[in-house]
A and B are shown apart, each in its own frame.
Chain A
Amino acid sequence: MSFKEVPTPVNETPIKNPDLSTDIEVEMFALQEEAEKLRQEVEALETDGINNNIDEKKKGAIFTQARKITYAVAALVAIPLAAGLFNPERTKEIKDVMSALVDNNIAEMLAAFGVILAAGTIYVVRSEIENNKNRSLCRKIFKTMVEKTESNNWDDLCVDLDNFKELFEKTVFSSYESEKKERKYFQDELSAVKEKLEAQPDLDKADTILKLNTLISSLNH
């Protein structure tokens, strides 16, 4: 049997994969918060505070979960969005966890695991989390707002703009260049939203246009 090559239609726009970086970033912050809670709990969990008669099934589940997290540590370092947030220099502690897992020793495993978490493998400075979280949420709110207006959903635009403005003002940027780039991006997108809103008939839009104008010009600074 032979296969015929199907020619690509000339005028067909190729389907572009959606950019998931914002979703990844938001999920990453949730992950960091969860990891921080785990770190605190493991730290507070004294080895002699563990019930020795652990159900074998539960014990197996704990080992599997700990192994999965251990695999993940090396992978997280390779994700550009996580770069700088995770410490890749903890290979010794990771090996300790792996060997405790091989020995099937839950107390040793937890002790080594606690060292990994406390040592900063998946621990982020709180202020850095907050700054990045604001930036990330800011983009998320913005993205949702633009998507809504693209599908002609103008409800709550004023509220969305207020939420965006509040978060943007709290956001700390890593450099002047990145702030400039971000401001330009939001300005361009907001101008496009404004243009589309102005073209809408039968909408009471004076207040929203005024809000948009104020926000667009405030992004100049």
Chain B
Amino acid sequence: MNEEDFKMLSDKIAAGTATQEEILLFIKELNATIKNLRNNLNSIKK
């Protein structure tokens, strides 16, 4: 999911108007983002 869509989804969740399906999608996406960030951080270590 691109950044803009993710931001929109986050705003919707923060506003309390998201459906369960959207919340599930959001958490899965966040999980994948954290995994990717960890991989990227590991690859830039000296």
Interface residues of A (CB under 8 A from B): 17, 19-21, 23-24, 27-28, 30-31, 34-35, 37-38, 41-42, 45, 49-51, 54, 58, 61-62, 64-69, 71-72, 74-79, 110
**B45 proximity list for chain A (CB < 8 A):** 45, 49-51
In whole angstroms, how far apart are the Cα atoms of A187 and B19 in the complex? 30
Interface secondary structure of B, over-half rule: helix
Residue contacts A-B, CB under 8 angstroms, 24 given: A20-B20, A20-B23, A27-B27, A27-B28, A28-B27, A30-B31, A31-B30, A31-B34, A34-B31, A34-B34, A41-B38, A42-B41, A45-B45, A62-B37, A65-B33, A65-B34, A65-B37, A68-B3, A68-B6, A68-B29, A69-B37, A72-B26, A75-B26, A78-B14
Q: CB < 8 Å: which of B15, B24, B42, B44 contacts A24?
A: B24
In whole angstroms, how far apart are the Cα atoms of A24 and B42 in the complex? 28
Name the CB-closest residue of A to B35: A34
- Min CB–CB distance B28 → chain A (angstroms): 6
Interface residues of B (CB under 8 A from A): 3, 6-7, 9-11, 13-16, 19-21, 23-24, 26-31, 33-38, 40-46
Asked if B34 and A35 make an inter-chain contact with CB atoms under 8 angstroms apart, the answer reads: yes
Name the CB-closest residue of B to A65: B37
**A50 proximity list for chain B (CB < 8 A):** 44-46
- Min CB–CB distance A52 → chain B (angstroms): 9
Name the CB-closest residue of B to A62: B40
- Min CB–CB distance A43 → chain B (angstroms): 11
